[in-house]
Amino acid sequence: MNCVIHRTWLAVLLLLALVAGCGAGSAVSDLGLIVHGGAGRTADVRLTPGQRFSLAVDENTSAGDSWLMPDLPDVMVASFISEEYRAASDEPGAGGIRYFVFNAKRPGTTTVTISNCRRCPADRVPADEQSRRASGEAIFRITVA
61-85 confidence digits (pLDDT tens): 888 888 999 999 999 999 999 999 9
Residues of the chain with pLDDT > 90, as a percent, come to 58
What is the total count of domains within the chain?
Answer: 1
**CATH number, domain at 84?**
2.60.40.2020
Nearby residues of 126 by Cβ (< 8 Å), 6 or more positions away? 117, 118, 119, 120, 132, 135
* Residue range of the domain that includes 77: 38-144
Query: Would you say residue 57 has pLDDT above 70?
Result: yes
Q: Whole-angstrom Cα distance, residue 27 to residue 23?
A: 9
Measure the N-to-C terminal CA separation of the chain; round to a whole number of Å.
53
Cα torsion angle, 10, 16, 22, 27, sign: negative
Q: Is residue 119 one of the residues assigned to a domain?
A: yes
Q: Whole-angstrom Cα distance, residue 38 to residue 60?
A: 13
